[in-house]
Chain A
Amino acid sequence: MAVQSSPWLRRPRGVPAVMGHVLLALLPGTAVAVWVWGPGLLLNLALVALGALATEALLLRWRGRPLQRHLFDGSALLTAILLGLSLPPWLPWWQPLLGGAFAIAIGKQLFGGLGYNPFNPAMLGYVMLLISVPVSMTQWPQAGMGWGALPLGYIAGDVPAGTLDGLTGATPLDAVRSGLTQQRTLGEMLPGTPLTPALWLAAAWALGGAWLLFQRVISWRIPVAMLAGMALPALIASAIDPDRFAGVGFHWLYGASIFGALFIATDPVSGSTTPRGRLIFGFGVGLLTWIIRSFGGYPDGVAFAVLLMNIAVPLIDAHTPTRVYGTGKAQTPRP
C-alpha cells in the first residue's frame, strides 16, 4: 500500500533506529557483565548472533522476504544479544549457536517474522536451552574469576570435569534455593552473598534503561509494574517469614530482575500495547517471577514469567481499552 495520504512529514525514527537504541543501551551492562563473568560471555554473544543471523537469513530467503531490509533491521541481532547476555559463559559452542537459531526459527520466523511473534524469542531460546541442557545452563563461574582462569581446554572441546567445578559456583539465587532446601535460613546465608558485582550489574542495566526511557524507546509502565509485582509479594512474605523468604532488595538486585524489567519484559512485539495493559503485564511478570523463584524448581523465573504473560497478552489488550475522547464521562451542558 503506497502512501497516498497524510501525514507527509519525515518520520523521526524507524525500526532499525529503535533496535539500535536498545543495543546501545545494552552496552554499559554488557561491559560490566564481561568484566564480571569474563570473555566467555563475548564468545556466547558472537555464537548466538551467528546462529540467529544465519537462521534469519536462511528463513527470510525461504519465505521470499526482502533479505536486506529485514536482516539488517536490528531485530534479530537484538534477540541474539539479549539471549547471549542471559547465558552462562563457556557453554559448549553448539549450545549458544542452537539457542540463537531456535529463538529466530521457532520464536520469530515461524510466526511470520518481525512483529508477529507472540512470545519473546530470546526467552524462548533461553528456556529451550534451560530445559534441554540444564546442567551447563546453571553453571556460572564465580563472579570476578572469569578473567583469571580461562578454561583453556574449552577451545579443544574437552574441559576436564574437575576444572569446571573448581571454576563455577552457584549464583546467589541458586545458592539461596539449595540452601533453603537444606534447612538453612536466609539469615545465615545472605551475609555471605557477594554483593558488589550484582550492584554494578544492576546499576549498569539501570543506566541503559534510563537512557531508553529518556529516548522514549520504552515506557516506564512495564519496568515499574514488574518491579512492583516482585516487591509486593516479597514485602509481605518476608515480613511474615524472613527466614524463608528474601526481601525486596534481594529480589530486585539478584538474578535477571533489573535486566529483565528494562530489556526483556519491555519487548514491544510480545508484550501488551495498551497503557493499562502494560501495567498488568509488567505486574504479572514480576509476580510470576517471585512465585517461580520462591516455590519453583528453577533458579530464576524471569524467562518463564515473561513467556507465561506473553500468552495472556491478547486477553489483557482486549480488556484494557483506553478512554476515548468524548466517551465515559457524562458530558452535560454548562448551566
Chain B
Amino acid sequence: MFGRAKAGFPGGLALPGHKLYGEAGRTRAAPLPDELVFPLGQHVGQAATPVVQVGDRVRRGDLLAAAEGFVSAAIHASTSGEIRAIEERPIPHASGLSALCIVLAADGEDRGREAPLWTPQADWQDLPREELLACIRQAGIVGLGGAAFPAAVKLNPKDTAHVGTLILNGAECEPYISCDGAAMLEDAPAIVAGARLLAYLIRAREVQIAIEDHNPSALEAMRAAAKDSGDRAVKVVPVPSRYPQGGERQLIQTLTGREVPSEGLPIDIGIVVHNVATAAAIWRAVTAAEPLTERIVTVTGSGVRAPANLRVRIGTPIRTLIEACGGYSEAGVQRLLLGGPMMGVALADDALPIVKGSNCILVGGSEDLAPPVEPMPCIRCGDCVSVCPAGLLPQQLYWHARAKEFDKTQTLNLFDCIECGCCAQVCPSDIPLVQYYRYAKTEIRLAEQEKIKADQARARHEFRQQRLEREKREKEEARRRKREQLAAKQAAQKAKAEAEAAAASADNPAPAGAKEPAQAEQTPPAVAAAQARARRQQAAARDEDQS
C-alpha cells in the first residue's frame, strides 16, 4: 500500500518514483531527425499563423509561425532546412486528431541565424517591463511543465501591486518524469537567474524554488546556484515527495498554507508559479535572444532499452528518441504515453512529434502499467475521498456524472477537480473515475456553449419580434392618422351636404320619417368616392402587413 506521510496538502499518494535522478539523469542531445513537425496549436490559446511558405529555406531560430492574438505563442525552426509542407498531421493530443502543422525537412547542417531576431539584453534590470515581455513573447516561450500556457501572458497580470511571491516549481511529483530534475542539475545558474528576472517582471518580493526532498542532487545544485547569485530573496525549499506535490495548487498550499480560491488563479492570492525549465528558457530568451527550439524530454519505462533524459529539438518525432534510447526492449510495449503515468495521454503511434509541452515519453511495459481491466461496481469504500488533494467527494461525483446529473456534479465542485488521478489509482473497483469527470466537464462546457448560442438566437429573435411590432405600431399609427383625417374630411363634406340638404328641405320640407332612409340609400357621390378610396387604402395596408 501507499505511504501515509502528509505533505502540506491533504490526501495524495506516495508513489514509487522510477526517476532518473543524479548522474543517471544527465542529459545528452538527441540526434537530429530528417523531418520535423511543428503543430501550429501546440500551446494554450490561439494557433500560430505560418509566416513561411512551402519551399522556403530556414535556419535554426527563424520564425515559422507568428503568435496570433493575445494568448498565443510564436513557433521557430529548431534546425535548418526546407519547408516541405504546411498540412494536416496527427498531433500528440488526447483527442488523437490531426491539425495544421509546418513540416520541415532538415538539411543536417543545423545552421543558426546570423543575427538574432531581437537584441540580447544582458542588463535586463535597466529595461522596462514591456521590452522584457516582448522578448519572452517573441521567443515563443510557454510553460514547460506540460500546460504550455504562453509565459508572457502569465507574466503580465493586470495588477502587479499585490504580487508577493514567485514560486518556481521543481517538484516533479509524477513517477518516471525527471526532465526538470535534469534541468536543475545541469542548468541551475540559468534557472536562478531566470527566477530573479521573473521576480523583477512581476515585482515579486520573494522567490521560492520548490524541489522534492527525494531529489538531493537537484537540491544541492540549486542551493549552490542560489547562494552564488547572492540574492537573499531567492530560497530553495525542499518539499515532501508526495503526489501531486507539483500540482500548482497543492504546491502553493504546501509552501504558504494558503489556497487558491475555487475556480480562481494563483494571482488572485498574489502568487505566480512557473516551472523551473521555463525560467531558464526565459533567461536565455532575454539575455541570449534564443527562441524556444529545444527542451529536455525524459524517455523512460520498461518498454525502452536505455531510459535517458534527452535534449530534444521541438518537432522531433518520438520514434527518433526511442531509437536514441536503444529502441524498444523485449519486454514489449503496453502503452506509449506522453507525460507521466498519472496524468499522461496515450499516443496512437511513435511518429508523433515532440512539442513544447512534452515533458516525458513513457514507453510503458506490463511491469509499469496496468493491463486494461473491466471495472467492478463501486463499493463506496471511500478510499477516493481520503486521497483527494482537492477535498472533493470523488465517489459522489462519479455517481452523478454517470447518471448525467451534471448540475449535481457542479454543486459538488466538479470544476475544482485537478484530474490528478489519485482517486482512480486507489479505487479497488478499477473505475476510471477521471474519465467520468472529464466527460462531465466536457458535457457541461458544451451545454454552456449551446446555451450561449441559444441565448444569442433568442435575443436575435426577440429583437426581430420587437422590430416587427414597432413597425406594425408605426403603420397602425399612420393608418389611424389617415382615418382621422379622412373622417374629418368626411365630416366636413357631410356637414356641407347636410347644410345643402337643409337648405333644400327648407324650400321643400319632407316628412321626418322618410328623410333617413333616403339619406342611407342615396349617399352623396363625393362621400362614396372617399369611402371607396379609404377601403382601398386599408386593403393595401393589410396586404403590406401580410407581406
Contact at A333–B269, with CB atoms within 8 Å? Answer: yes
Q: Select which of A10, A115, A271 is within 8 A of B369 by beta carbon.
A: A10
Task: Tell me whether B509 is interfacial, beta carbon within 8 Å.
Answer: no
**19 A-B pairs (CB sep. < 8 Å):** A3-B435, A4-B432, A5-B434, A7-B342, A8-B364, A12-B2, A114-B376, A115-B378, A116-B377, A273-B393, A274-B385, A325-B391, A326-B261, A326-B263, A326-B264, A327-B413, A327-B416, A331-B259, A331-B269
Residues on the B chain within 8 Å of A274, using CB: 382, 385, 393
Interface residues of A in 181-203 (CB under 8 A from B): none
Contact at A326–B416, with CB atoms within 8 Å? Answer: yes
Contact at B377–A11, with CB atoms within 8 Å? Answer: no
Residue in chain B with minimal CB distance to A320: B393
Residues on the A chain within 8 Å of B259, using CB: 325-326, 329, 331
Chain B interface mostly: loop
Task: Tell me whether B518 is interfacial, beta carbon within 8 Å.
Answer: no
Q: Select which of A9, A13, A14, A327 is within 8 A of B1 by beta carbon.
A: A13
CA of A73 to CA of B94 in the docked complex: distance in angstroms? 33
Task: Tell me whether B175 is interfacial, beta carbon within 8 Å.
Answer: yes
Residues on the B chain within 8 Å of A329, using CB: 259
The tally of residues in B whose CB lies under 8 Å from a CB in A reads 71
Task: Tell me whether B33 is interfacial, beta carbon within 8 Å.
Answer: no
Residues on the A chain within 8 Å of B341, using CB: 6-9
Interface residues of A in 313-335 (CB under 8 A from B): 317, 321-327, 329, 331-334
Query: Which of B97-105, B421-429, B539-547 contacts its partner?
Result: B421-429
**Chain A residues touching B, range:** 35 or more
Interface residues of A in 127-179 (CB under 8 A from B): none
Task: Tell me whether B22 is interfacial, beta carbon within 8 Å.
Answer: no
CA of A17 to CA of B76 in the docked complex: distance in angstroms? 53
Contact at A325–B262, with CB atoms within 8 Å? Answer: yes
Residue in chain A with minimal CB distance to B370: A10
Residues on the A chain within 8 Å of B413, using CB: 324, 327
CA of A323 to CA of B253 in the docked complex: distance in angstroms? 15
Residue in chain B with minimal CB distance to A17: B428
Task: Tell me whether A275 is interfacial, beta carbon within 8 Å.
Answer: yes
Residues on the A chain within 8 Å of B201, using CB: none
Contact at A331–B253, with CB atoms within 8 Å? Answer: no
CA of A328 to CA of B386 in the docked complex: distance in angstroms? 19
Contact at A115–B412, with CB atoms within 8 Å? Answer: no
The 7 closest A-B pairs by CB, nearest first: A115-B377, A7-B421, A326-B262, A333-B270, A268-B381, A10-B370, A324-B413
Instruction: Given A15-B428, A327-B413, A331-B261, output 8 extra A-B contacts at Cβ < 8 Å.
Output: A8-B335, A11-B427, A69-B374, A115-B376, A115-B429, A219-B382, A269-B380, A333-B268
Q: Select which of B162, B263, B428 is within 8 A of A11 by beta carbon.
A: B428
Residues on the B chain within 8 Å of A260, using CB: none
CA of A10 to CA of B373 in the docked complex: distance in angstroms? 10
A9 in contact with B368 given A17-B428, A326-B249 (CB within 8 Å): yes
Residues on the B chain within 8 Å of A73, using CB: 376
Q: Select which of B262, B264, B380, B434 is within 8 A of A271 by beta carbon.
A: B380
A325 in contact with B1 given A8-B346, A9-B368 (CB within 8 Å): no
Residues on the A chain within 8 Å of B256, using CB: 334
